[in-house]
Amino acid sequence: MGQRGYRAHMASAHEVVAAYWAAAEARDWDGFGALLAGDVVYHGPQTREQVRGRDAYLRFNAEGFAYDWHIAVRRIVGEGRHAASWVEFTGPDGPQPGLCFFELGEDGRIARITDFWPEPYELPVSRAHLVERY
């Protein structure tokens, strides 16, 4: 090691995703954009929606949700160039879980985001005898 206490540091996938949600919550779109690859691709499989490129994805986030919303991180898991997050999104309809899977590029920026928003549903009768409710 050359200089004491110094080493080149590329943020871990966990750190990048923590910064991503912190920037979103702060509406710090410059900081948010700095975490994204220029050719980032966002997929929402439930609606089959797709957004391509940093500028389009910034606009999607800044303009697509025109109401007060907040994000609280419940869990981030990172491994190599992959990460997953579980957040609680609170908008006009109350809190809702959001699950995201991330892939980082070689430069440590977010290259791919796959985003899921599960909704409440009725417990199937077929397994009701095998569970409790909470």
Q: Which of 103, 112, 32 has the alpha carbon at shortest distance from 71?
A: 32
Residue 17 exposed, middle or buried by CB count within 10 Å (0-12, 13-18, 19+): buried
Q: What's the min distance (Å) between Cβ of 68 and a copy of itself?
A: 14
Neighbours of 98 (CB within 10 A): 17
- Which two structure tokens, joined as six digits, stand for 128? 């009701």
Q: Which stretch binds a copy of itself (CB under 8 A): 1-9, 23-31, 32-40, 61-69?
A: 61-69
- Shortest distance (Å) from residue 123 CB to a copy of itself: 4
Q: Specify whether the backbone of 82 is left (phi greater than 0), alpha (psi in -120 to 50) or beta.
A: beta
Residue 69 found at the interface with a copy of itself (CB under 8 A): no
**From the CB of 62, what's the least distance to a copy of itself, in Å?**
10
Q: Say how far apart CA 90 and CA 97 lie, in whole Å.
A: 9
Binding characters for a copy of itself, 70-109, by CB under 8 A (x = yes): -----x-xxx--xxx-x----------x-x-x--------
Which of positions 27-46 make contact with a copy of itself (CB under 8 A)?
Answer: 43-46
Closest C-alpha among 113, 132, 133, 127 to residue 36: 113
Report 6-25 residues binding a copy of itself (CB under 8 A): 14
Contact residues toward a copy of itself (CB under 8 A) are 14, 43-52, 56, 59-60, 63-66, 75, 77-79, 82-84, 86, 97, 99, 101, 114, 116-123, 126-127, 130-134
